Amino acid sequence: MKILVLGAAAGGGFPQWNCSCANCRRSWSGDVLAPAQTQSSIAVTADGNRWALLNASPDLRQQIAANPQIQPQIPGRHTPISAVVLTNGDIDHITGLLSMREAQAFTIHCSDRVDVALKKNAVFNVLNPDLVRRVALPLTGTTDVVDADGKSMGFSVTTFPVPGKIALWLEDLTKADFGSAEGDTVGLEVTDTATGKSFFYIPGCASMPEALATRLKGAEMVFFDGTTWTDTEMMEAGVGTKTATRMGHMWMNGPGGSMEAFASLGVRRKIFIHINNTNRVLLHDSAERFKAKAQGWDIAHDGLEINL
């Protein structure tokens, strides 16, 4: 099984289009130690020919241009992208679907909560239901990932709910939990059918309950929510008023953070992904990046390839 990181950044990418925080200023200036990153998504293949996207980034067109592996190879309309698996309904995880509207057959695998959200928004009707089949993902269970012809792509996803919140564009501000419910955000364990090897993909997660920690213990590899370094990072950077907690994300460093939560889990390879433009781990010369790496973490970047 091959894994390709298409985008490593959180919503808005890095540098963010309207941001001049210290991180973004370095990236806008062309600083090689602050390289640009597109919005988060990875692609997975078992046979080298058919790829599944795990989330569909708003930057999908740019990501296809940057990665020949997922570019059309056969004359006429064709794409190696045969399926999309969604972990939630966030804008930075579903908007890329709109770039896949050109009479193309593929499958969308998602939870009922996400499926309902897509069906309620008429803009997603551009995905012809005669060509784009929906495959329901259970809140807890294993599903074979299939292409538009219903053929197995050689790997499965085991879904499980993780702490989070409803997508920003669906929030009900009259409710204390903004209308969130189980299934708004799921984690994925992706397993190669032939080899049995697997990895976890959890780009959005608000906390580490005991059940999730038990599931991840001893895992071969985990891609995990790396949105912010601290809970109050965006306020400290002067670019927002929301904490990581309010946005439905864990922070990396310190008490209650993800690095602390993972310290005793024995995960062989840990990779932060979905990294906000304000997070200094994006800077290759930052103390924050050095600290994360010293604690055994890799920082995802666009174009990272992994063979599992």
> Domain map of the chain by residue range?
2-307
Query: How many whole angstroms separate alpha carbon 199 and alpha carbon 60?
Result: 23
Query: How many whole angstroms separate alpha carbon 31 and alpha carbon 225?
Result: 25
Question: Residue 237 — very low, low, confident or very high, per pLDDT cuts 50/70/90?
Answer: confident
CATH number belonging to the domain at 2-307, selected among 3.40.640.10, 3.30.70.20, 3.40.50.620, 3.60.15.10: 3.60.15.10
CA of 75: how far to CAs of 71, 79, 127, 201, in Å? 12, 10, 22, 33
pLDDT in tens, 91-147: 899 999 999 998 899 999 999 989 998 998 999 999 999 999 999 999 999 999 999
pLDDT in tens, 246-264: 777 899 999 999 999 999 9
pLDDT of amino acid 29: 98
pTM of the model: 0.94
pLDDT of amino acid 242: 75
- What phi and psi values does residue 305 have, to the nearest 5 degrees? -115, 135
CA atoms within 13 A on the CB side of 204: 29
pLDDT of amino acid 295: 97
Q: What is the mean pLDDT of residues 149-154?
A: 98
Q: What is the DSSP letter of 80?
A: S
Instruction: Of 100-104, 124-128, 222-226, 235-239, give the range with the top mean pLDDT.
Output: 222-226
Contact, 305 vs 3, CB < 8 A? Answer: yes
Q: What is the mean pLDDT of residues 137-162?
A: 97
CB neighbours of residue 172 within 10 Å: 11
Concatenated DSSP letters for 154-167?
A: EEEEEEEE-S----
Helix (H, G, I), strand (E, B) or coil at 288: helix
